[in-house]
Amino acid sequence: ATHPFSASPPPPPLDPGPDTDTWRQVWEAAHPRLATLEFTRARMSMGVIVASRASPGGDAEGAEVLVKGAPQSVLARCDWLLLSDGSRLALDEAAREAVLEQAREVSRGPLALRVLALAQGTV
Distance, in Å, from the CA atom of 52 to the CA atom of 31, rounded to the nearest integer, reads 6
Q: Enumerate the β-bridge partners of residue 88.
A: 82
Say what the pLDDT of residue 12 is.
53
DSSP class per residue in the chain: ---S----PPPPS----S-HHHHHHHHHHHS-EEEEEEEETTTTEEEEEEE-TT-TT--STTEEEEEEE-HHHHHTT-SEEE-TTS-EEE--HHHHHHHHHHHHHHHHSTT-----EEEEEE-
pTM: 0.69
pLDDT tens digits, the chain, 123 residues: what are they? 444 444 444 445 555 556 667 777 887 888 889 999 899 888 889 999 998 865 455 454 579 999 999 999 999 999 999 888 889 999 999 999 999 999 998 888 788 888 999 999 888
Say what the pLDDT of residue 8 is.
47
Say what the pLDDT of residue 57 is.
54
